[in-house]
Amino acid sequence: MTAAQRVLLRPITMGLLLQSLFLLLFLLGSCLHPASAFPKGCYPSEEEGLKTFRCSNAQLTEVPRDIPNDTNKLYLDFNQIPFLPRDAFRDLPLLLELDLSHNAIARVESGAFQGLAEHLHSLDLSSNRLVSVSKDAFSNLKAKVNLSNNPWLCDCRLQELIRAVELAADSSGGIVCDSSTQEEHIGKAFLQVIADTDFCNVYKKTTDIAMLVTMFGWFAMVISYLVYYVRQNQEDARRHLEYLKSLPSKQRRSEESSTISTVV
C-alpha cells in the first residue's frame, strides 16, 4: 500500500472508530437509564420471590413517581413525606405491602389508596402525624392497617375510621388519644375509651339539642310577632272607632261598617 493510499484510509478508519465509540456509549446509556431514574437512596430487589422497591431513609419529601409498576412490596419508611395525595399509588396494581411508617404524614386525601383495594393486604401508617382522617380515605380497602403512634384527636371521626378499617394485629393499643372532645380521655387507648363512650352518639345528641334550641327560638320570634301584630291592629281599630263616635251619625254609620269589614 502506497503512502497516498494510507493517507486516504486514515480519515475513514477514524470515522469508523468514532461511530463504534458512539454506539457503545448509547448502548451503555440505555442499559443504565432505568437505574438512574430512581430517586437517590431507592433501589429494586427481590425478596422471597416478591419484587420489592426500597426507599427507606432516603430523605424523600413526596411519594416517588418512578416506582416499577410490577412492585409487590414498597418501603417508604423513615422519610419526611408530609401528606398522601389522591392517586398516589394508582400505577401499582400488584402492590401487596406498603410501609409508610416513621414519616411526617399529617394529611391523607380521599382516594390516596385508590387502585390498591384489589391486592393490598398490609398498610403501615404508624409513627406519623395523623390527627384526624376521614374514613373515605380508606374506602374499599381490605388491607390490615397500622395506625398506632399518631397524635390522634379522639372524636366521632376517628370512631368512624376505626370501624371502617381492619386494624393490624397488636396495633390497636397504640392508638392513643393525644387530644379529645372530653379531657378525661387524653392519654387513654382509644378502643378502651369507646368501650364506654359513643362519640358519634354524643355528637348527635348535641346536634339535636342545638337544633331544638334554634327551632324554639324561631318559634318564639314568630309567636311574638303575631301577638304584636294582633295587638297593634286592635289598638288601631279601637282608636278608629273612638274617632268615628265623634263624627255626625250618618257619616259615622258608613265609616263604622267600613271599619268593621276591614277588621273582619
Per-residue pLDDT, 28: 45
Per-residue pLDDT, 243: 63
Tell me if the pTM is above 0.75.
no
d(CA 126, CA 105): 10
| pLDDT mean across residues, the chain | 79
d(CA 145, CA 98): 10
Q: Which residue has the higher pLDDT, 233 or 85?
A: 85
Per-residue pLDDT, 37: 72
pLDDT(193) > 60: yes
pLDDT(182) > 80: yes
DSSP, collapsed to helix, strand or coil, labels residue 117 as coil
Cβ atoms of residues 185 and 210 within 8 Å: no
Minimum mean pLDDT range among 91-95, 125-129, 183-187, 244-248: 244-248
Instruction: Dump pLDDT digits (tens) for 211-260.
Output: 544 554 555 566 666 666 666 666 666 666 666 566 565 554 555 555 44
Q: Which residue has the higher pLDDT, 39 or 167?
A: 167
pLDDT(192) > 70: yes
Instruction: Dump pLDDT digits (tens) for 195-224.
Output: 889 999 864 444 444 454 455 455 556 666
d(CA 208, CA 189): 28
Mean pLDDT, residues 5-28 = 49
Q: HSE-up of 49 (CA within 13 Å, CB side)?
A: 0
End-to-end CA distance of the chain: 134
d(CA 181, CA 192): 15
Q: State which amino acid sits at residue 117.
A: A
Rounded to whole angstroms, what are the CA distances from 58 to 50, 171, 180, 226?
21, 26, 34, 72
Looking at the structure, give the CATH architecture of the domain made up of residues 35-197.
Alpha-Beta Horseshoe (3.80)
